Structure 1
Amino acid sequence: MELATPDIASLGDSSVTTRLQDQEPVRADASRGTEKQSEAATDTTLPVPSSPIYAPTQADLTKYRRRWIPRISSRLRNTLLSTMGLLELANAGDFAANVWNEIPVPIYAIVFMALGGTLALVVSILALKDTLLSWQNVCFLRNERAALKAERLERLQRSLPTLDADVLLDTNFRELGSEIANRFGLDICSGFGAFLISIGTYMAIGGANRQAWFASNILSGYLGNAPIALYGLISSGWSAYIFRRASQHRRLAAQSPRLQSSRAVKAIERRTRNVHIYTLVSAVSSVIGGGASMVTATRWEGYVVLIPVILSSMFYNSWLRRNVAYDRPPAGDPLHLTENAITHELEVAEMTWRKIRGQSRPLREVVADATSLEAVTTYLVANDLLEHFCLSLMKSAVIAPVLVSQESTDVTIDAKRLLEMPKEIHLTMIEIANETIKQKGPKHFEYRQRYLAEIMGSTLRLSLKAGYGGSMTEC
């Protein structure tokens, strides 16, 4: 069956506009929402649903060193440093210390020791920086999890369905576990190991001193490599779990009769393929790298095994940043989480992503009335682009002084505040909105597809487990 390509230029509907004006979420009837979504799937347009998923109605900004930035822990962010792909290389920085473990130390060995020790030290410092960035995500996910658990408990006390809250908790569990197992814990263990290795390698330069030689062997040998080996087992175990769960999501999506004519299936398949590549490569690399690092303490042959491990770690770090990880806002009101709503949002995200790439005027492609600030703002809020838009506005010498006072250090901006701006600068704001979508839109909607695919997978699995036959519309 050939899929029609809906026109997405009418993405702003009156229900969303009303929600923005009231600043209160519309609690639409579930059965009516099901009908509207079913009709939308066959219509020539895909209007924004009355209850957008992951669409914050305000942006919280703070001033940092004369620049406006998003408030810390306001959302999950893909902030993994590219240099973290060098962790395995840094942990091989003791190569010279272990291979030329002799007295007196040759001059060429001293040079290699200095280079290896410096590399390990620099990467350990960068690992500390990445640990702090990861901790922001951990805090965000923990706070979100606590709120979802409180929501679920309240529903149980009121004898209300909890399936949609369970879906968000299930997705949050995978996100939190991956952030800890594949990043936060990796940064701590590998970064600490790299630091010990750097100290041990530097001490090996003074190998003529018996005590320095002994301490060097301990630090750059088993003690420095033990955290890496131990963590390799933990990380590979978690990767195996994520691999299995992604496979289950793909299978359920392929079996769902509701998704057979939907683009959502392709998005889930693409998501599963990317997750499989990352988890498979990282799991195998972690196990082999952990074992090889322990061998290097006494035998130089271990470094030969580490060569493909180092290359693969660079690959899966890049793959994680470019094809797996994503930014997303808080989930919002889970009462609107239905299979039809998720499918609709996933389709809109996929179509918008394809439509705006390479466009010089993408705003005209996605908003019916691209000259109306109200229509533009409605679209930006419904598609979680408000924060990007507000950050762009704060960079404008024309808009920023009108939007916020010079003395302010924190600001909360919503649609109502934007629409109250003087009419003479509305066109400037619309131009900034167009530039925001042009620069940030493609990556933003790519991220949106990723986390909505995760939500859809959890929806299919838990609704089937709860006996809803793969649909949450009965809740």
Structure 2
Amino acid sequence: MAHPNSSSDTLISPPSPIHHPTSTSTSRHTKPIPLMESDLELSHLRNNTPIPKLLREASDITWQEALETTKDQVPLTKRRGGHFKLLHQQQFKNSLLASVGYLELANAGDFAANVWNDIPVPTFAAILMGIGGTLALAMIFVAIQDFRLSYRNVKLLREEREHLKRLKQYHCRNVEMSKVLNSRLGVGLREIGTEVVDRIVMDLLMGAGSVLVGVGTLMAIGGANPHVYKASNLLSGYIGNALAAIFGLVNAIWSVYLIRRFHHHDSAVVSVEPSDDIRRRLRVRFRRFQWHAIVNGVNGLVAGAASMVTATHWEGYVVLIPCIISLIMCNYFWRKKLGYDRPILDHISLAKLQLTPLTEDLQYAIAMQKALSEPDHVLPQPVIDTRSLESMLQFIVRNRMLETYVDSLAHDKMTRGLLSEIPPTESATPGHPEYIITYDVLLRLSSSKQNHARVLLDHAVRFLRTDGVRVFTHRERHLLELSGYAVWQDQMAEITTTSTSSMTKDLPKT
């Protein structure tokens, strides 16, 4: 069973064809109505009493027109063996590979080549060189795969950023709308920076370095040849390890920026946020970012310097070992505590937008985490009826979880066979049929055979109790970062206004 933690995702929750939002508040998102604690929110849930956002399930920016027929649909493709997979990635994904944490290990693959750099090469050293060189070369496949995943994220984020800029230009006279859009642009810039520096740049430099180290280590086996000996020393020594040192420097600069950024956000929310629970969650979120940046930045610098030392002194490996362990732990911490999935804002109507406070979305995400993670808790039927597949699908679509839900259907042995009964559409790739999954398609599938409805209903319940909790946890993480940026943005605006007023008063009267 999944359990919520103190950190979640999406502000953008467009209405489905089944659900149209009602009127929303136009109060400032940075100074909203007083917040209720999570226990109080759940008491509202149990009493079926509407609280902000709970029954409305809108968001800070939402469509005010019917959703186009192309929305709320997920394209699947069928591969060999009857397996389904998503045709296109539609969300920003927390896709960092666990194996990326071992990239630093490639720098230690030349251990035997540097320590037993003798002619003739001892037999046991040649065996160790073969193992170390092969492992170092194999890490290039990890770097390539992580690069591909990160590039998809960056491509989606850049498209979203361009769309947000168009929205900001269109709503330039709407102060509140501009604040929300600026907050999304600010957080989006951090997301792009993290993807580029901590993944793409790392994959390029560390991946290339692992290839050079691996080749140099394998060449050391034939070090009896003077030319091979010299090339091996260069590749497995200074040249191969220099790339890791360069990344360490770049990563340290980016880490300093993140430390300063979240220090400012943390300072801003201390005196502004009215709820102790929300303030605590914000501060935990920002301090996690800071600690990760500190450890990651220091680790990169030390590992880079140690890699250069290993070219001539075996003592460098003593320093490199804790750096490898630290990088693995940082990778785990990011994937489990900091990273998140979230939908991408795109193709929204420029003319018809409306605001709701960020805190309403945050309250809702926290309340739903608690409610869905408690197996004995029954949500009020106006929100979701767990005995009705139609109600559960409506809830999934309203909360922009359809892609995640369909992906879980495709990977579940009990349900992926049902997807084959959906008529395929024309495919651009011969031999790989495509399937468009929508709310209506799933309802028709559930009614096609007697047991389909029960299988899909049982799967939907499991989905909400596990993946659903994770979705709202990721939603909270994103909302916390957006809220912190919005508070800091307002504080900076007030400081600027105060400074301008003081300067105006000090000007001599003419």
What TM bracket, shorter-length normalisation?
A: 0.7 to 0.9
1:129 deviates by: 1.4
Q: Name the SS for the 1:20 alignment partner.
A: coil
Structure 2, gaps ≥5 residues long: 1-12, 428-432, 497-510
**Residues 255 and 293 of structure 2 are in contact (CA less than 8 Å); yes or no, is this contact kept in structure 1?**
yes
Find out whether 1:442 has 2:482 as its counterpart.
no
User: Any idea what the Cα deviations from partners look like across 1:111-162, whole Å, max 9, x if unmatched?
Assistant: 1111110110111221111111111111111111122122223334999952
- Return the alpha-carbon distance in structure 2 between the equivalents of residues 239 and 455 of structure 1: 19
Find out whether 1:85 has 2:101 as its counterpart.
yes
1:430 deviates by: 3.0
1:422 deviates by: 6.1
Match of 2:16 in 1: 20
Find out whether 1:31 has 2:26 as its counterpart.
yes
Match of 1:383 in 2: 399
**Residues 28 and 176 of structure 2 are in contact (CA less than 8 Å); yes or no, is this contact kept in structure 1?**
no
1:186 to 181, 202, 211: 202
**Residue identity matched to 1:308:** P
Q: 1:397 to 1:142 in 2, by over 3 A?
A: closer
**Residue identity matched to 2:152:** Q
Match of 1:306 in 2: 320
**Residues 77 and 137 of structure 1 are in contact (CA less than 8 Å); yes or no, is this contact kept in structure 2?**
yes
Q: Name the SS for the 1:252 alignment partner.
A: helix
- Return the alpha-carbon distance in structure 1 between the equivalents of residues 333 and 354 of structure 2: 30
Match of 1:454 in 2: 481
User: Any idea what the Cα deviations from partners look like across 1:69-119, whole Å, max 9, x if unmatched?
Assistant: 334331111111111111111111111111111211111211111111011
Q: Name the SS for the 1:300 alignment partner.
A: coil
Could you state the TM-score of these two structures normalised by the residue count of structure 2? 0.78
Counterparts in 2 of 1:315-394, with a 5 A limit? 315-331=329-345, 341-357=357-373, 359=375, 367-393=383-409
User: Any idea what the Cα deviations from partners look like across 1:360-411, whole Å, max 9, x if unmatched?
Assistant: 8877799453334443233212333222223344562675356443876444
2:293 to 267, 274, 279: 279
The number of aligned residues is 448
Find out whether 1:226 has 2:242 as its counterpart.
yes
Q: Name the SS for the 1:21 alignment partner.
A: coil
User: Any idea what the Cα deviations from partners look like across 1:437-465, whole Å, max 9, x if unmatched?
Assistant: 12312322221111111111111122333
Find out whether 1:51 has 2:58 as its counterpart.
yes
Give the CA RMSD over aligned residues. 3.4
- Return the alpha-carbon distance in structure 2 between the equivalents of residues 450 and 160 of structure 1: 22
Match of 2:155 in 1: 139
Q: 1:412 to 1:28 in 2, by over 3 A?
A: farther
Match of 2:215 in 1: 199
Could you state the TM-score of these two structures normalised by the residue count of structure 1? 0.84
Could you say which structure has the greater relative contact order, defined with CA pairs below 8 angstroms and 6 or more residues apart?
2
Match of 1:292 in 2: 306
1:182 deviates by: 0.7
- Percent sequence identity is 32
- Return the alpha-carbon distance in structure 1 between the equivalents of residues 57 and 330 of structure 2: 39
Match of 1:400 in 2: 419
Q: 1:108 to 1:400 in 2, by over 3 A?
A: closer
- Return the alpha-carbon distance in structure 2 between the equivalents of residues 119 and 80 of structure 1: 20
**Residues 80 and 130 of structure 1 are in contact (CA less than 8 Å); yes or no, is this contact kept in structure 2?**
yes
- Return the alpha-carbon distance in structure 2 between the equivalents of residues 77 and 121 of structure 1: 27
Structure 1, gaps ≥5 residues long: 1-15, 470-475
1:173 deviates by: 0.3
- Return the alpha-carbon distance in structure 1 between the equivalents of residues 366 and 219 of structure 2: 55
Q: Name the SS for the 2:75 alignment partner.
A: strand
